[in-house]
Copies of this chain bind each other. A is one copy, B any other.
């Protein structure tokens, strides 16, 4: 694990950092392949949207990108976590003006991909409805921590989360797609959830892959009726789900395979949205 804090290698974060004090910041988890960050333009766009939403101003983007590419180049394949906080403050919720945001970059080994098709479970923990914080990848992640605490079985790769109204939202660390009658469905995330990067790629390219797509409210009935269930995140890619505990078994199918093939082609098609073949 290599850590850079505001451009300097180190293992020392100011205890007054607002990320620690309040979860007052954002993060991105990037896949590094061939020493390059995959889909950085999309991560950058989401991070910028998060800064805009939280009112975090003054992030030194040129230095951040320089650091990101320099750190990525150190390891051919890796997971890079990038945290941006509102910087440090003395006491209280109010942030001092003119304090620069803090950049924390950590390079770690890429996790082993779980055995596909995935075995997943339903979490009992429910996500709150909170449109003002939905979509962005902020540092208030107790929901995900608490949901992930529900199981220890290493054979269970992920837990699916419902919101308080009983709608399917996402996995603790992944986004969800269902296939029904050849059509791709993914939860609308305007009430809660994280708008994942690979999710955005799949949404944008579904038409090219000849797949009709709808973003809408989804329930456990939709899950049970699905022909294919798919989970995706930046580190693991797009994975078929073979079984959801308490719901049923699913098969890898043609829509998931077509989307996987399309993601693999990105490596050559689009260097700005680099993705490993």
Verify if A92 is at the interface (C-beta below 8 Å from B).
yes
Interface residue A17 (Cβ < 8 Å from any Cβ of B): yes
Q: Which residues of B contact A54 (CB under 8 A)?
A: 142, 145-146
Copies of this chain present: 2
Q: Which residue of B lies closest to A94 (CB)?
A: B148
Interface pair B111/A20, CB less than 8 Å apart: no
Q: Return chain B residues, CB-CB under 8 Å to A106.
A: 15-16
19 residue pairs bridging A and B, Cβ less than 8 Å apart: A5-B15, A11-B14, A12-B15, A13-B14, A15-B104, A15-B106, A20-B83, A21-B27, A21-B139, A22-B23, A22-B145, A23-B23, A24-B145, A54-B145, A55-B146, A86-B145, A91-B108, A93-B144, A128-B130
> With the chains together, A83 CA to B164 CA distance in Å?
29
Tell me, yes or no, whether A207 is within 8 Å of chain B by CB.
no
- Set of chain B residues within 8 Å of A172, measured between Cβ atoms: 93
In the bound complex, residues from chain B placing their C-beta under 8 Å from that of A129 are 128-129, 164
Report chain B residues within 8 Å CB of A19: 20
Q: Complex: how many Å from CA A133 to CA B20?
A: 18
